[in-house]
Amino acid sequence: MTRQQLWRRFNAHLDRPLLIGILLLLLVSLLVLFSADNASIDQALKQMINIGVAFTLMWLIANLPLHYLMRSAIPVYLLGLGLLVGVALFGEISHGARRWLNIGVATIQPSELMKIGVPLMMAWYFEKYEASLGLRHYLVATILLLMPVALIARQPDLGTALLIAASGFYVLFLAGLSWKIIAGLFAGALASAPVLWSMLHDYQRHRILMLFDPSQDALGKGYHTIQATIAVGSGGVLGKGYLNGTQGRLDFLPERTTDFIFAVYAEEFGLIGNLILLGVYLYVIGRGFAITANASTYFTRLMAGSITLTFATYAFVNMGMVSGILPVVGVPLPLVSYGGTSMLTLLLGFGILMSIETHKKLVQT
Amino acid sequence: MNSRAELRDSQREISRFQLRLAVGIGFVLVLFGILLVRFFYLQVVRHDYYVTLAENNRISLVPIVPNRGLILDRNGVVLAHNFSGYTLEITPSKVANLEATINDLATLVEISPRDRRRFKKLMIERRNFETLIIRNKLSDEEVARFAAQQFRFPGVEIKARLFRDYPYGEAMAHMLGYIGRINQKDADRLEEAELAANYRGTDYIGKTGLEQFYENELHGTTGFEEVEVDSSGRAIRILSRTAPVSGNTLVLSVDAKLQEVAVQAFGNYRGAMVAIDPTNGEVLAFVSKPGFDPSLFIDGIDPQSWDELNNSPDTPLNNRALRGQYPPGSTIKPFMALTGLHFKTRAPSRTISDPGYFTLPGSSHRYRDWKKEGHGSVDLFKSIVVSCDTYYYGLATELGIDKIYSYLSEFGFGKKTGIDIEGESAGLLPSQEWKAKRYKQKWYPGDTVSVGIGQGYNLVTPMQLAVATAALANNGVVYQPHLVRETRSPNGDKVRKAPQVQTFDARVPAEHQDLVRRAMIAVTQPGGTAVMASAGAPYAIAGKTGTAQVIGIKQGASYNESSVAERHRDHAWFIAYAPAEQPKIALVVLAENGGHGGGTAAPIARKVMDYYLLGKLPDAPVIAPADAEAEND
């Protein structure tokens, strides 16, 4: 094979438009990480390693024919569920929550696996019974969704539980769950809010209360929200300029390389920067929807739609949290926040999208 | 299922899915629209607000405390200044075992029991994350010794501070006052006066005396450094600096040397002395004996020293010159004489016959003269020279209290003099109205009789009497006394002179003035009551003695000086001005329990006048200590 053929072979299953969007976001990530880490290259370098690992995985998944992916749905789901039970029984506690499982060589966070595992399982299930979908199947799919969500919620990791619930709900929704039932579910959720409230941990309640009045606890729980809002607001239209954000540079912003990285960005690049970032996100999401619309099978449509909507949800929840309209739930800004696990999960999702896009002709024939 | 149906099915399936997807896309657009609105709100609508918050976060104003103004005497001698020195300070919250740490420190630097007591008191008063002073004014050697061992003492540090120093110590304490730590009351007052911003960083404030009265002049303007800080308050860099402006210098009319001479002249007597320039109201010396060490108060006085000062029978904290209220005794007589002349109640030549007592018409009660056998035939001149009580019993009765009150008021009696120190007492010039209000009683003729010789209800402060004496020397014109002559800006380019304020005018005609002056000169000549005052003086002294009774003497009993306990002895007064023809100094001396004014108070006054007018320093110890008892005090 010539070098050109090799290159073509390498690129065959990468979706060019999606790749460009992802690379733009990763570029933003590295730039902002450098600023957020006080003009030190350390975190940016580590993030590049994370990106490298995640990219390899994405490439592999993108090249993986879809029937392998479908075949893995049950094992991945069961493994995830088993690990979550393991966490519940033997997990390690950090920051008052039992999220990590020590498997000897490393500690892992099984909830991350379920971000892909749950929609995968549900999409597979709907595909299997596509011809004869009835209410019963929606009920089973809902149970498949609620088991891991319940386990994660009681770790407690409310943010992840809600996001996985959302990704599963998107599958149900796209699979054609009747509007009446959706309306019923919302009514039920609203009605059960007081019950849920009573089940929440103190710190979770505090976070939700803090959303309505962060100044109540300006030095404690409200501090994150207040300082992040100040950073965003003081950025103005044009921003303070790259590396010139005072809130970030002078250490007023907490967790500013991870969950609050958007505050650093918004402070330095202002409303213009925010518009550009929203634009890039919409471009990636739009491409995801295009792939979804073109997908050839029931399974791939559900999967692609769920991945895309979940990605959009992540971006919205993070930016909403940093700008003070959502409670602080510990959701990173997708593809921008520092962190290996979320990078891996996200690019895995994009790998599936790419695989769906690039393998569809093969399936059709 | 045939393939067509299947296709149709799948077609319907897809269009249903497309619809759901469109709803999903709409959902995402709504979410991002919400974000957009939020960003616009934060970054455009509320931008200014958040910029302010971010700047407040970032910039911290660090105050630079100005140097407190100096206090100089009329000749430029320094009376209060600042010097930089080192203190050893402990932050109690950072020290595990305070007692052990202090004991350890004591092996390196001297820590007196007084230091320990003061530290304990500071611990109670202040929050324990502040640094508290354990030792003041370390020597260079002590600083070096501690510095070498500092690693052993976490939470203990040496700080460079500016200290206030009063070189004259006790001698000036009642006049200068002292500064002390700002307490809650001071802070509240500053807040109310909207001065709190200018006191950011300032630890000390004037508490008494001139330090208090001229606080606004002395403090200066606080400078600021704008410092960029991080979230833990660490300074990153200085953005701008506004230099502080030192406090103004106070230049007093007081002569430090004169003050010293006066203090020494008192010897072991308690009492007060005020000397005034009668031509303008400038105070030349201001003594209240005993004094106290003002430096004790600066960093909080330790309880034992406080008890000693506060419970001493000598009441060293009492500013006698300003707040001591005493009966004026016979020193009131020249003023009474002028009252009689003013109302033409007594012609200068009219004589009375003094049998040694006075009785009111229709009463057998005898008001006794100090001289049992009486002075014989007495006119106004002689009444002052020999201090004839009977003459004034009669004069007061003839005048009546209303006239006495109205005219003595013109000399400032019964009113605050308005001197530039807080807390002055007003004395008491009695009137019918006053008695009705105070005792709900009418005024009796007998009340007037004793007012005539200054032993009734009337009370004066030494300050008040000094001002009145200055008026006596100055044809009845009363000037508001003041200690500060001028204030100067720190670099000396702006000088503000104290205004000369005339408060009263008794309008003494020349012939009355002349008559009373000649009589007062005669007081200090052989035959007068204060012959010691002017023996050998090359200038003429106009004076008047007085005694203020401490205990009442029963009708018919006699007062025997030697048989009365020292503290129950009469207070000795002497008022004087000199040179009599062209007065440059008017003064009052009060020697508590000094007995007769002529014997104890007058010699003190003489030494002060000699120094002021001739530059002559007293050579010998001034007064033979009154007796052993006085010495033991």
Over residues B549-569, mean pLDDT: 62
Does B36 contact chain A (CB < 8 Å)?
yes
- Is the alpha carbon torsion for A109, A111, A116, A118 positive or negative? positive
Query: Minimal Cα–Cα distance from B5 to chain A, Å?
Result: 12
Judge: A232–B46 Cβ closer than 8 Å, yes or no. no
* Domain shared by B288 and B201, yes or no: no
CATH code of the domain covering residue B360: 3.40.710.10
Smallest Cβ–Cβ distance between B50 and the set A233, A292, A293 belongs to: A233
Are B522 and B607 found together in one domain? yes
Question: Do residues B204 and B279 both lie within one domain?
Answer: no
Contact B42 A282 (CB under 8 A): no
Query: Cβ of A139: how many Cβ atoms within 10 Å?
Result: 11
Choose the closest CB to A251 out of B25, B27, B232. Answer: B232
Number of Cβ pairs < 8 A linking chain A and chain B: 121
Cβ-based neighbours of B158, under 8 Å, separated by 6 or more: B86, B87, B88, B89, B138, B143, B146, B147, B150
The predicted structure's pLDDT at residue A341:
87
For residues A120, A122, A126 and A129, what is the CA-based torsion angle, rounded to 10 degrees?
A: 110
Same structural domain for residues B241 and B363? no
Interface mutation target, options B20, B29, B42, chain A, most CBs of A under 10 Å: B42
Q: How confident is the model at residue A331 (pLDDT cuts 50, 70, 90)?
A: confident
Domain assignment present for residue A249? The answer is: yes
In whole angstroms, what separates CA A189 from the centre of its chain?
22
Interface subset of A 91-120, CB within 8 angstroms of B? none
> To 10 degrees, the CA torsion angle through A172, A174, A176, A182?
60
For residue B447, the enclosing domain spans 270-292+323-558+572-627
Record: contact B32-A281, CB cut-off 8 A:
yes
Residue found under tokens 């010097």: B83
pLDDT for position B629: 34
pLDDT at A212: 64
- Interchain CB distance below 8 Å, A234 and B25: no
Backbone dihedral angles phi then psi of residue B60, each to the nearest 5 degrees: -120, 135
CB contact under 8 A, B32 and A316: yes
Lowest-confidence range among A292-296, B68-72, B565-569, B598-602?
B565-569
Instruction: Write out chain A residues lying below 8 Å of B20, CB-based.
Output: 173-174, 176, 305
B27 at interface of A, judged by CB pairs closer than 8 A:
yes
At A189 the pLDDT is 79
Single-letter residue type at B266: F
Amino acid occupying residue B273 = M
Task: Name the maximum alpha-carbon separation found in chain B.
Answer: 158
- State whether B498 and B593 are in the same domain: yes
* Helix or strand holding residue B516 (H, E): helix B510-523
Q: How confident is residue B340, by pLDDT bands cut at 50, 70 and 90? A: very high
Instruction: Give the pTM.
Output: 0.68
Does residue A279 fall inside a structural domain?
Answer: yes
Please check whether residues B483 and B587 belong to one and the same domain.
yes
As given in the structure block, the two tokens for residue B154 are 């976490």
Cβ within 8 Å, pair B50-A266? no
In angstroms, the Cα distances linking A5 to A1, A10, A12 are 6, 8, 10
Residue B495 at interface with chain A, using a CB cutoff of 8 Å: no
Last residue of a domain, one of B201, B222, B252: B252
Which chain A residues are within 8 Å of B55, Cβ to Cβ?
246
Domain assignment present for A12: no
pLDDT > 90 fraction of chain B, expressed in percent and rounded: 51
User: If you measure CA to CA, which chain A residue comes closest to B9?
Assistant: A131
**Residue A7 covered by a domain:** no
Instruction: Please state, in angstroms and as integers, the Cα–Cα distance from residue A112 to each residue in A64, A83, A129, A160, A261, following that order.
Output: 21, 11, 27, 8, 20
Mutation site, B7, B50, B230, interface A, largest A CB count within 10 A: B50
Strand B179-181 versus strand B352-354 pairing type: unpaired
What is the signed CA dihedral for B458, B464, B466, B471, rounded to 10 degrees?
A: -90
B9, B27, B38, B52, best to mutate vs chain A, most A CBs in 10 Å: B38
Q: Is residue A363 part of a domain?
A: no
Domain range holding A72?
17-358
Q: What is the pLDDT of residues B144-198, one digit of tens each?
A: 888 888 888 888 888 887 889 999 999 999 999 999 888 889 989 998 888 888 8
| Residues B512, B529: Cα–Cα separation, whole Å | 21
Is A234 touching B (CB cutoff 8 A)?
yes
Q: Is the residue at B479 inside a domain? A: yes
Whether B602 is in a domain gets the answer: yes
Q: CB of A324 within 8 A of CB of A207?
A: no
- What ipTM did this prediction achieve? 0.93
Q: Provide the token pair at B534.
A: 């002017």
Best mutation target, B12, B21, B44, to test chain A (most A CBs within 10 A): B21
Query: Closest chain B residue to A254 measured between Cα atoms?
Result: B231
Question: pLDDT at position B377, please?
Answer: 92
**How big is chain B, counted in residues?**
633
Domain count, chain B: 2
On whether residue B4 sits in a domain, the answer given is no
**Subunit contact A289:B21, Cβ cutoff 8 A:** yes
**Structural domain contains residue B130:** yes
Name chain A contacts of B34, Cβ cutoff 8 Å: 316, 320, 325
Structural domain includes residue B24: no
Q: Kindly state whether residue B298 falls inside one of the protein's structural domains.
A: no
Contacts of B18 in chain A (CB under 8 A): 293
Contact B51 A282 (CB under 8 A): no
Residues B540 and B576 in one domain: yes
Residues B496-520 have pLDDT tens digits of 898 888 888 888 999 999 999 999 9
A-proximal residues of B, 210-269, CB under 8 Å = 228-232, 236
Any domain includes B68: yes
What local confidence, expressed as pLDDT, does residue B61 receive?
Answer: 79
Instruction: Give the count of domains, chain A.
Output: 1
| Together in a domain, B81 and B113 | yes
Residues of B with catalytic roles:
330
Considering the domain architecture, whether residues B334 and B234 belong to the same structural domain is answered as: no
Q: For residue A10, is it within any domain?
A: no
Specify whether B232 is located in the same domain as B276: no
Q: Average pLDDT over chain B, rounded to whole?
A: 87
Same domain, B582 and B464: yes
Is A184 within a domain?
Answer: yes
Interatomic CA distance for residues A346 and B300, integer angstroms: 67
Higher local confidence (pLDDT), B201 or A98: B201
- CA dihedral of A360, A361, A363, B3, whole degrees rounded to 10: 110
Per-residue pLDDT band for B330 (boundaries 50, 70, 90) equals very high
Kind of pairing between the strands at B249-252 and B71-72: parallel
- Check if the beta carbon of residue A342 is closer than 8 Å to that of residue A51: no
Among the ranges given (A288-292, B248-252, B591-595), the one the predictor scored with the smallest mean pLDDT: B591-595
E strand or H helix at B79: strand B78-90
- Do the domain assignments include residue A5? no
Taking CA atoms, what residue in B is nearest to A324? Answer: B38
Q: pLDDT band for position A207 (50/70/90)?
A: low
For residue B621, pLDDT over 80 is answered with no
Whole-number Å distance between alpha carbons of A210 and A324:
10
* pLDDT tens string B596-613: 777 889 999 999 999 999
Q: Is A316 on the interface with B (CB under 8 A)?
A: yes
The verdict on B246 and B280 lying in the same domain is no
In a domain, B366, yes or no: yes
Tell which B residues from 360 to 379 touch A, by Cβ distance under 8 Å: none
